[in-house]
């Protein structure tokens, strides 16, 4: 089953994405913080990351740079 990481600091948007994707049989992890997202990518493998740009902890561009 594909696994998706959702990184979004707006809780309503994040939870709506989680609910929708899980209803389509995707497995999801989610967080509202760039540093937490980076930590999750170190210990888990994701098929897709939905990444917001303006995040607490570390912005989305920095997270992307570190993940690459």
30 strand-pairing partners: 6
DSSP secondary structure letter of residue 61: H
What's the pLDDT score for residue 27? 98
Report the alpha-carbon distance of residue 55 to residue 68 in Å, rounded. 18
Name residues of the chain where pLDDT drops below 70: none
27 strand-pairing partners: 3
As a whole number, the mean pLDDT across the chain is: 97
What's the pLDDT score for residue 54? 97
Using a pLDDT cut of 90, give the percent of the chain over it.
99
What's the pLDDT score for residue 1? 87
31 strand-pairing partners: 7
Question: Is residue 38 within 8 Å of 63, Cβ to Cβ?
Answer: yes
Helix (H) / strand (E) containing 43 = helix 34-43
């Amino acid at each position: 089953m594909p696994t998706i990481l959702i990184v979004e600091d707006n809780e309503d948007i994040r939870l709506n994405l989680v609910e929708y994707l899980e209803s389509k049989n995707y497995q999801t992890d989610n967080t509202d913080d760039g540093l937490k997202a980076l930590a999750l990518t170190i210990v888990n493998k994701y098929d897709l990351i939905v990444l917001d740009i303006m995040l607490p902890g570390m912005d989305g561009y920095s997270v992307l740079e570190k993940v690459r």
